[in-house]
Amino acid sequence: MKRRTAFPEEQFLNHCSNGCCTLQWKDFRIQLTGSVVALGAMLAFTTAMFAQTNNPSGVTQTPAAAPAASPVLSHDMSGVWMPYSINMDGIDEKLRPPLTPWGQARFDASAPLVGPRAVAGKENNPALNCEPEAVPKSLILPNPFEIIQIPGRMFMFFEQYHLWRTVWADGRPLPKDPDPTYLGYSVGKWEGDTFVVDTVGMNDKPWIDSYGNPRSEQMHLTERYRRLDHDTLEMQIIMEDPKAYTKPWVNPPQRFKLEPAWEIAEFFCIVDEEDSYGDAVRKPAGVPAAPK
């Protein structure tokens, strides 16, 4: 099994310079594709020459049957997926619509780990108390998730904090008055090659990103998934929350890479470990250095 290190958000941000770094994928697919194309051209040329040599003059050859179509991959999203980049850009803070008075008050009360408002040692991200990140934030964090599809249902298993989520795909409608939860109630359906997930019934406890932007119980989250090729999954996040934002928040698509050799690792949030890390690293980072 391929091994890698998973980071809680605050450890990852301290590990990377300026809270942001890019995964460098070692990908041999370009070379492999070029080799396959060259080999195919050689085989086609050899076949044509053989046909010309062995075909009596004036005899018409019957064209070979067309090869069978390749299997359709667009409706199969199963596998372990990891972001191409770990900039958490599936939610673009620069595209945030204006906040409502309620949303502005919640935003002003947040003390994030990153961004211009971050003050080391003063953060109040709910995740520091081991509260679930939930959606949509769990979808953009620099840790993998696994999709498993069965008839009428899709499961999403997030490595961070070992969250798991059900997306119903059996034709049921969204509930009219769901009880608010961290992950909400999700239903999905196919629109051509795009799997559209709608989620309602979320509580207002987690942030939607690392910058402290809020969500309310009126949030309607839409995710649009497309499998672009065997190794690439595209996801777009759209949020409508009239209590927190004056307009829908439409984000650009984010891409994920299939990691067939990975397994979801054990990654739990332990309060004592979070407190130890905060006392040893996070909080001291906000203390000015003593004058020399």
DSSP 122: -
Cα(202)–Cα(237) distance, rounded to whole angstroms? 15
Each residue of 221-252: pLDDT tens digit?
Answer: 999 999 999 999 999 999 999 999 999 999 99
Cα(90)–Cα(31) distance, rounded to whole angstroms? 29
Q: What is the token pair recorded at 121?
A: 């040692």
Closest residue by Cα to residue 86 from 18, 148, 40: 18
193 pLDDT band, cuts 50/70/90, is very high
Cα(240)–Cα(163) distance, rounded to whole angstroms? 23
Count how many Cα atoms sit within 13 Å of the Cα of residue 111 in the half-sphere of its side chain.
Answer: 8
Residue keyed to tokens 């076949």? 47
Cα(185)–Cα(177) distance, rounded to whole angstroms? 10
260 Cβ neighbours under 8 A, 6+ residues apart: 79, 80
Predicted TM-score (pTM) of the model is 0.74
Q: Within the chain, where are the H helices? A: 9-15, 29-54, 101-109, 271-277
279 pLDDT band, cuts 50/70/90, is confident
Each residue of 135-184: pLDDT tens digit?
Answer: 999 999 999 999 999 999 999 999 999 999 999 999 999 999 999 999 99
3-state secondary structure 207-250: CCCCCCCCCCCCCEEEEEEEEEECCEEEEEEEEECCCCECCCEE
Q: Residue range 104-128: average pLDDT?
A: 94
At 12, phi and psi to the nearest 5? Answer: -65, -45
284 pLDDT band, cuts 50/70/90, is confident
The SS3 call for residue 106 is helix
Is residue 3 over pLDDT 90? no
Query: What b/e string do you get for 68-98 counting C-beta neighbours within 10 Å, with b at 16 or more?
Result: eeeeeeeeebebbbbbeebbbbbbbbeebee
Q: What is the pLDDT of residue 287?
A: 61
Q: What is the token pair recorded at 142?
A: 């620099």
Q: What is the pLDDT of residue 86?
A: 65
Each residue of 17-75: pLDDT tens digit?
Answer: 344 343 333 343 434 344 434 444 444 444 444 344 444 444 444 445 555 555 555 79
DSSP 5: -
Cα(125)–Cα(145) distance, rounded to whole angstroms? 22
Q: Kind of pairing, strands 164-168 and 185-191?
A: parallel
Q: How many other C-beta atoms can be found within 10 angstroms of the C-beta atom of residue 102?
A: 17
Q: What is the pLDDT of residue 74?
A: 74
Closest residue by Cα to residue 113 from 206, 18, 21, 22: 18
Max Cα–Cα distance, the chain, nearest Å = 97
Higher pLDDT, 202 or 280: 202
